[in-house]
Structure 1
Amino acid sequence: MSRIAYVNGRLVPHRNARIHIEDRGNQFADAVYEVWGVRDGALMDFEGHLTRLARSLGELHIRPPMSDAALSAVVSRMVEINHIRNGLIYLQISRGQARRDHVFPPANTRPGIMITAKALNAQKAEARAQKGIAVITRPDIRWGRRDIKSVSLLPNVLAKQAAAEAGAGECWLVDPDGFVTEASSSNAWIVTKDDVLVTRAASQDILNGITRRTLFALAENAGLKTEERAFTVAEAQSAREAFVTSASAFVTPVVEIDGKPVGNGHPGSFSLQLRATYVATAKERARKPVRRQSVWLVAPRGERLVN
């Protein structure tokens, strides 16, 4: 079956999905996004992503296009109609379509919304985690509000491309003081020789990942020590283990940083156990779409139901 996208209240074939040339997400990156992982047909960490979406919209003063209940229905429907067993749901909300002007458009401008679904090979992802990834480091040149999940991702794109060209799986970003902030599309962690899980404290310097938050709760339940603090590249290279977390990577071990092996150069027991525990817990708590007899969607406020 062809992929189906949701664009401003309508279901359309993915290949035909379009937005207006003056959508502010297109011209100003005046938009936010969220990504849900899907495992065994269920949305992982659903409420956490919904809460962070609301925060990002609030920080940028973008009006929500619909209620949480309606949005939940649409996202769940996208999993079902695209037959996503394992994959990702991507959602983007912009300030809307208006004549190009740096100043916000009128308050009654309707926000733009689009949602796409993508299937992923779960076995391939698991094999990648079992092997571990290499990372490189680059200076962090992003804007100062990284806590907002905005679509202003050009520095992230450049960092990820640098990693790809170096044959690495991810790029860790480093602040002017030499401390790791996070990766191009994930949060960065180390495990110290004293078995303490360390990651950068949540602030405007990083995106407070939903998988990151869940991992703190799992670590606490397991009696593991955690610290939210900055760490240097050198400390990471000499750590017992390192890994990254995100909605798509879950918990993925890092086995090499800038050409130097981490630990024995293989995924560590902490990282692999945390991954297994996260996946099991997230699947248990995941939100499964409710199947319905007819095709339906809830469109943005002011529009009729789409059948």
Structure 2
Amino acid sequence: MTRTVYLNGAYLPEAEAKVSIFDRGFLMADGVYEVTSVLDGKLIDFGGHCVRLARSLSELEMQNPHSDAEWLAIHRELVAVNAIEDGMVYLQVTRGNPGDRDFAYPSDDVTPTVVLFTQAKPGLADNPAAKVGIKVISIPDIRWGRRDIKTVQLLYPSMGKMAAKKAGVDDSWFVEDGVVTEGTSNNAYIVKGNKIITRQLSSDILHGITRAAVLRFAVEAQMEVEERAFSIDEAQAADEAFITSASAFVMPVVEIDGAAVGAGKPGHVVARLREIYLDEMRKAAV
């Protein structure tokens, strides 16, 4: 079945959706994006994604083309017309096409390009990897300094994914100045005792929507949370490790740079966090 996508106010078959070759998202990676998960036909943590989208646009001096209510209506329509039960909705806003190619972006108003599409992921919450855990390697973090803005500049994270694939593992963790920043498309954590340790918010990492929810649920479950940087050595010596993202939810990490974490299998803290997160998010889904 042909997928229906959204482009600048129109719902179109994907083959009919066209964007100008002069669009700054294509030429300059001048745009931002969000990915919202869908479980049982409903959107997970949608409000958080709207807040982060607005912040990313503001940081790039771009106008938000829609209200939260309008964004919700578009998401719901795409979920409905594409019959998505489990999956994701990808949203991208670029600065648009101001004319010919130029490094300086225009100071006057330019109509942004708005694109949304769905991806069906049957059984998204039942990912088998959650039962066995994933393996990661560490690589240098050489990205730009504004990782808190969710831009479409994803070349180096893509290279990190490929480095992991070539190493026969699942993902890479970025390391800068001797400590872990985050994963290629996720936030990184370790567990020592009943304490969850993850890097503090700054321009060095993406302010994960799933991260915020998981840490809130952890505190409510009487778990201790410490927001600070940690090294690969400390991570390898931890009891458990995990990542969070909109699509992976809470995913255990069982090996880092060839060294087993804890018992080398998912632990009870991460399993409980995943259970709590999915339960609470399903209750609040829209």
TM-score w.r.t. length of structure 1: 0.91
Determine if contact 2:39/2:124 at 8 Å carries over to the other structure: no
Cα distance in 1 between the residues matched to 2:221 and 2:63: 40
Equivalent in the alignment of 1:140:
141
Deviation of 1:67 (Å): 2.1
Query: What secondary structure is seen at the aligned counterpart in 1 of 2:262?
Result: coil
Amino acid at match of 1:71: W
Cα distance in 2 between the residues matched to 1:172 and 1:115: 28
Equivalent in the alignment of 2:78:
78
In the alignment of these two chains, the number of paired residues is 285
Identity %: 47
Cα distance in 2 between the residues matched to 1:66 and 1:109: 15
Amino acid at match of 1:57: L
Cα distance in 2 between the residues matched to 1:141 and 1:121: 35
Q: Which runs of structure 2 are paired with 1:146-225 in the superposition (5 Å)?
A: 146-175=147-176, 177-192=177-192, 194-225=193-224
Equivalent in the alignment of 1:100:
101
Q: Which runs of 4+ in 1 moved over 4 A?
A: none
Deviation of 1:17 (Å): 2.3
Query: What secondary structure is seen at the aligned counterpart in 2 of 1:138?
Result: strand
Equivalent in the alignment of 2:235:
236
Deviation of 1:105 (Å): 2.0
User: Alpha carbon RMSD of aligned pairs, Å?
Assistant: 1.1
Determine if contact 1:90/1:117 at 8 Å carries over to the other structure: yes
- Consecutive unaligned residues in structure 2, runs of 5 or more: none
Amino acid at match of 1:158: M
Amino acid at match of 1:79: V
Cα distance in 2 between the residues matched to 1:124 and 1:284: 14
Query: What secondary structure is seen at the aligned counterpart in 1 of 2:278?
Result: helix
Equivalent in the alignment of 1:295:
none
Cα distance in 2 between the residues matched to 1:235 and 1:184: 20
Matched, 1:126 2:143: no
Deviation of 1:216 (Å): 1.1
Determine if contact 1:92/1:114 at 8 Å carries over to the other structure: yes
Amino acid at match of 1:240: D
Instruction: Deviation per CA, 1:93-138: give whole Å up to 9, x if none.
Output: 0011122111122522101100010011326852111111000110
Equivalent in the alignment of 2:57:
57
Amino acid at match of 1:51: V
Instruction: Deviation per CA, 1:58-95: give whole Å up to 9, x if none.
Output: 00001112222212211111111111100010000001
Cα separation, partners in 2 of 1:65 and 1:124, compared to 1, 3 Å = closer
- Consecutive unaligned residues in structure 1, runs of 5 or more: 288-307
Determine if contact 1:134/1:168 at 8 Å carries over to the other structure: yes
Cα distance in 2 between the residues matched to 1:191 and 1:45: 24
Cα distance in 2 between the residues matched to 1:165 and 1:121: 27
Determine if contact 1:65/1:112 at 8 Å carries over to the other structure: no
Amino acid at match of 1:58: S
Deviation of 1:15 (Å): 2.9
Determine if contact 1:37/1:247 at 8 Å carries over to the other structure: yes
Matched, 1:112 2:113: yes
Query: What secondary structure is seen at the aligned counterpart in 2 of 1:280?
Result: helix
Cα distance in 1 between the residues matched to 2:168 and 2:15: 31
Determine if contact 1:130/1:267 at 8 Å carries over to the other structure: yes
Query: What secondary structure is seen at the aligned counterpart in 1 of 2:2?
Result: coil
Cα distance in 1 between the residues matched to 2:247 and 2:110: 33
Instruction: Deviation per CA, 1:140-199: give whole Å up to 9, x if none.
Output: 011000000000111111001111122211110000x2100000000000001x320000
